[in-house]
Structure 1
Amino acid sequence: MLRMLLYSNEINLVGLVYSASQHHYLGDPAIGLAPHRWPVPGARLHIDEAVDAYAEVYPNLVQHDANYPTPAHLRSLIRTGNIVNVGDMAADTPGSDLIKEVLLDDEPGQVFLQAWGGPNTIARALKSIEDEYRGTPQWDEIYQKVVDKAVLTSFGQQDTTFATYIKPNWPDLQNREVATSIWGYGSRGVAKPADAFYHSPEWTKANVSDVGPMGAAYRVWGDGKQMAAGFDDEDYFGLSGYTADELRAMGYLVWTPPQAKGSWISEGDSSNFALLIDNGLRNWQDPRWGGWGGRQIVSPTDPNRWSNRGALDADETGATPRDYPAARWFSDFQNDFAARMQWTVKGVDETNHAPRTCVAQGLDLTRRPGQPVVLNPRATDRDGDAVTVEWWQYREAGTYPGTVELTTNPGGVTRFRVPADAQPGQTIHLIMEATDDGTPALTHYQRVVVTVADQRDPMGPGGPGGCAQN
């Protein structure tokens, strides 16, 4: 939540909704259901706590970008959804009503329904729409409007409502599974060796924990905090100085290895919103394209279900390490986070900001086999830092199975020729990385997609993204 709020200047947030999951729910004394990892009545809940921390630093953040929403606006988006029990979708709630309202409005563009817990409140909103319109003359139109508009993203299925309600009744709704290991508790097992220090107490303390109110609110190993009051045999994150065996002797189920005090824990759901960040990778545009939120592949049995599980990217050695489609971006995203944390406590002239980039020819090009492609990037840096530009082919994101030979000059202009064996309709993805020499070094990207045309097709303009439009 804290990291997402630092990107709220680039993501159009329209709702922040509490929901239940198999890992946390309110309970109901009337039916003898005890709460599970839910704060005591009257306690401040985690979305509100995160917005409170944001409110303290908002006057500083807005100096860096006027698009940061006010704390009052963010608070106006907070709703309580279906929280009583795992999979609760028994009745409409303020949270489900808000989701329903957003899905039925006439605002253009997609809506990303991000289930950071269970999708049950989303399921309730969809059921409310179905209950109102199924059997009416408007139903077919409403159904198509919702499935065209909504994309459900989730880090695992934390209740059964997707399987039992959403999929059977809304089969055409796109679902992207973003359970990336690099942002989960297994991050240390998939991070590149050069990136291991981002998990360390030293990096975390210097760049996050010691940086203002938002850093103070950020959970780290051994911080003495608990998810909720009382003994929880799975919640030992707040403890430090104990071995796994010692924790077991204390009654804990040690399901992930304890780490050094002050080190990084996990941000599993960061991959949900990371795909929406406007960093030039256009991660949201197509699940197979990849970016900070990972890359997904389609289910062999369902064209509307996508998962990062099984998606493979080759590293510089040609190997395909586990979760590399997400782990390859870890250092860039961590550095960007560290810079934004500095924005919360320092002025514009004291901090670093990512370069801004464009490609003169546009971002979506059409070329015939054998035709040359020239890409002329431009990069500016508001801090006056030097910017280095590099290009590479993202083979796994494209559908042309071969490799193109890029020739890039010192100014960053790159050239290649569409291979003669490329077939009409195939795509070639080129990623431009523009990295400044500030502290920390920050990277902005541009993705150029070249679609192979038939020899008889006329060549049109380059499409959106040309520098004149930026």
Structure 2
Amino acid sequence: MSSTASFNPRSFPTRPRVFILSDISNEPDDAESLVRYLLYSNQFETEGLVACTSTWMKQKNPYPSADFFRSLIKSGPATYGMSAVGDDIPLSEGGKHLLARLEAPLEQPLWVLCWGGTNVLAQVLHHIQKTHSPASAAALRSKLRVYAISDQDDTGSWIRNRFPDVFYIASVHAWNQYGLAAWTGISGDRYYGFDHGGPDFSKMTKEWIKEHIQIGPLGRAYPDYMFIPEGDTPTFLYLIQNGLGVPEHPEYGSWGGRYGMTDVSGFGVAARHYSDVADRVTGQDGRTHFSNHATIWRWRDAFQRDFAARMQWTLSPDVSKANHHPVVTVNGNTGLEPVHIECEAGGTVVLNTDGTYDPDGDSLSFNWTHYREPTATQWWVEAEVTELEFKKLDDEGRKVEITLPPPEKCCVDLISGEARKKGQLLHVILEVTDNGSPSLTSYRRVLIQTTNEHLKGGRQGADAVGDIMQGFA
């Protein structure tokens, strides 16, 4: 691609509000995650950094000083779990700060990223319930968005059971069985032994980190890892504004993984807990791997290249000496939000990237994929979601044509066989990668709502999904 007339990088007019609870100094991974977080702080409105306890550090609350975050740093209760929650127990300084940010008259939700225990959050929720009317308390809870790195004290399950209306992302597994959690997909394949041969660990080795990350003033603060590197990082990778993730939709998938509603029964209070789902991903061994971990490690090459590039940004004030992300336009839309299209089943959709550019004038490559798992309602994705094919309309793939499945494949209820006017929501992911060093990838998600105006394709229903899928066995 030819050089742009002037340097014009991506801007972020709206930034997620972020409040971090961290058991930092327990082991190196929190400090590692904080280093990476600082590199992405231009994308967030950071509103709190609270040192908390966890099962791994029950009575200690130190936190390293940092001028940039000094006014945000508070201490949570220096005691473990539910021992910090009760009618006669005052809010900790961290709890007071979290309450103040939650009560701030702002429309944007507050993302509470839990790198350790959650007793600071539990304190605040208990206080709100005790001091506010039911309607006022519910309104405050509706502003919360929680992403917890499993349960690291006994308050996580208490919160989800006591306040099921809190938007809460967390892997659910037996105590301390972290190898079962989706978030370990960031780097835990060798330590925990999952998906053998699938993930590429080359950009997670201590040698790669030493060469690409532990450089410059900030990089030198990145410690060597002990168990797995950066176990807490998926909480904010989930919020990275790169055109891939949609924070209000954990089921869509992002660098921070993909999660689904734990309870969709619709009975009683509408529970908003999201837990692990699985993706099918072709690994470096050429085999298909199907796991919750794959929802994160599938993006590892891209988010590690991104990390290395941002660390380069810290080495010089001259922007021309570092690489920057492509800015992607699809069908005239240059934002970061998904592109929405409606199309009748069996019809065609043309996607055009005219206007896409690289701020540094680098050459660009275009890769289109059908992300099938977010559409599926069952485990057997291949039987439920027909794979889309992309027809290139130019040599580089800047413009493609997609033919949608016929109505019986995308606009019919799986069990009842009833034809629907609105069928499957199909997810198309565009990856645009430059040839800079390190190369950087930007994304756009295209959401294609299939329609069936004349209710074609209906069939006789069945009593069980297995009956429907017998023909696929």
Say whether the fold is shared (TM-score over 0.5).
Answer: yes
Which one of the candidate residues 212, 218, 225 is aligned to 1:214? 218
- What corresponds to 2:272 in structure 1? 304
- The answer (yes or no) to whether the contact 1:192–1:328 under 8 Å persists in 2 is no
Shift of 1:312: 2.8
Shift of 1:456: 7.0
- What corresponds to 1:394 in structure 2? 371
Shift of 1:278: 0.1
Q: Verify: 1:419 aligned to 2:387, yes or no.
A: no
- What corresponds to 2:390 in structure 1? 406
Which moved further from structure 2: 331-340 or 399-408? 399-408
Post-superposition Cα deviations, 1:62-83, rounded to whole Å, max 9, x if no partner, equal xxxxxxxxx2xx3222221223
C-alpha separation in 1, matches of 2:187 and 2:365: 31
Shift of 1:391: 0.6
C-alpha separation in 1, matches of 2:199 and 2:166: 39
1:319-334 alignment, distance < 5 Å: 319-322=288-291, 323-334=293-304
**Superposed CA RMSD:** 2.4
Q: Given the two structures, how large is their TM-score scaled by the length of structure 1?
A: 0.73
- The answer (yes or no) to whether the contact 1:370–1:419 under 8 Å persists in 2 is yes
Indicate how the Cα distance of structure 1 residues 394 and 185 shifts in structure 2: closer, same or farther if over 3 A, else same.
Answer: closer
C-alpha separation in 2, matches of 1:123 and 1:410: 55
Shift of 1:295: 0.7
- What corresponds to 1:204 in structure 2? 209
Indicate how the Cα distance of structure 1 residues 151 and 187 shifts in structure 2: closer, same or farther if over 3 A, else same.
Answer: farther
Shift of 1:191: 7.8
Q: Which runs of 5+ in 2 are unaligned?
A: 1-33, 172-180, 266-270, 334-338, 377-383, 412-421, 456-473
- What corresponds to 2:55 in structure 1? 22
Q: Verify: 1:344 aligned to 2:311, yes or no.
A: no
Shift of 1:276: 0.3
C-alpha separation in 2, matches of 1:382 and 1:351: 11
Q: Which runs of 5+ in 1 are unaligned?
A: 27-34, 40-44, 53-70, 222-236, 238-255, 257-264, 458-470
Shift of 1:370: 2.4
C-alpha separation in 2, matches of 1:147 and 1:206: 44
Indicate how the Cα distance of structure 1 residues 149 and 368 shifts in structure 2: closer, same or farther if over 3 A, else same.
Answer: farther
Q: Verify: 1:79 aligned to 2:78, yes or no.
A: no
Q: Verify: 1:366 aligned to 2:366, yes or no.
A: no
- What corresponds to 1:440 in structure 2? 438
Indicate how the Cα distance of structure 1 residues 320 and 195 shifts in structure 2: closer, same or farther if over 3 A, else same.
Answer: closer
3-state SS of paired residue (2:102): helix
- The answer (yes or no) to whether the contact 2:367–2:431 under 8 Å persists in 1 is yes
- The answer (yes or no) to whether the contact 1:22–1:118 under 8 Å persists in 2 is yes
- The answer (yes or no) to whether the contact 2:160–2:273 under 8 Å persists in 1 is no
- The answer (yes or no) to whether the contact 1:297–1:311 under 8 Å persists in 2 is no
- The answer (yes or no) to whether the contact 1:379–1:387 under 8 Å persists in 2 is no
3-state SS of paired residue (1:333): helix
1:113-152 alignment, distance < 5 Å: 113-133=112-132, 136=133, 139-140=134-135, 142-152=136-146
- What corresponds to 2:4 in structure 1? none
Which letter does structure 2 place at the counterpart of 1:403?
A: E
Which letter does structure 2 place at the counterpart of 1:103?
A: L
Indicate how the Cα distance of structure 1 residues 75 and 167 shifts in structure 2: closer, same or farther if over 3 A, else same.
Answer: same
Which moved further from structure 2: 284-293 or 95-104? 95-104
Q: Percent identity?
A: 29
Post-superposition Cα deviations, 1:223-278, rounded to whole Å, max 9, x if no partner, equal xxxxxxxxxxxxxx4xxxxxxxxxxxxxxxxxx6xxxxxxxx41011001101000
Shift of 1:328: 0.5
- The answer (yes or no) to whether the contact 1:283–1:293 under 8 Å persists in 2 is no
Q: Verify: 1:315 aligned to 2:282, yes or no.
A: yes
Post-superposition Cα deviations, 1:51-102, rounded to whole Å, max 9, x if no partner, equal 35xxxxxxxxxxxxxxxxxx2xx32222212233344233212211222222
Indicate how the Cα distance of structure 1 residues 193 and 426 shifts in structure 2: closer, same or farther if over 3 A, else same.
Answer: closer
Which moved further from structure 2: 78-87 or 411-420? 78-87
C-alpha separation in 1, matches of 2:255 and 2:321: 26
Indicate how the Cα distance of structure 1 residues 186 and 315 shifts in structure 2: closer, same or farther if over 3 A, else same.
Answer: closer
Shift of 1:112: 1.4
Indicate how the Cα distance of structure 1 residues 156 and 442 shifts in structure 2: closer, same or farther if over 3 A, else same.
Answer: same
- The answer (yes or no) to whether the contact 2:164–2:273 under 8 Å persists in 1 is no
C-alpha separation in 2, matches of 1:205 and 1:318: 30
Indicate how the Cα distance of structure 1 residues 382 and 390 shifts in structure 2: closer, same or farther if over 3 A, else same.
Answer: same
Which letter does structure 2 place at the counterpart of 1:376?
A: N
Which letter does structure 2 place at the counterpart of 1:331?
A: D
- The answer (yes or no) to whether the contact 1:153–1:175 under 8 Å persists in 2 is yes
C-alpha separation in 2, matches of 1:185 and 1:320: 15
C-alpha separation in 2, matches of 1:192 and 1:105: 48
Indicate how the Cα distance of structure 1 residues 191 and 150 shifts in structure 2: closer, same or farther if over 3 A, else same.
Answer: farther
- The answer (yes or no) to whether the contact 1:191–1:330 under 8 Å persists in 2 is no
Q: Given the two structures, how large is their TM-score scaled by the length of structure 2?
A: 0.73
Which one of the candidate residues 177, 181, 184 is aligned to 2:184? 181
- The answer (yes or no) to whether the contact 1:367–1:453 under 8 Å persists in 2 is yes
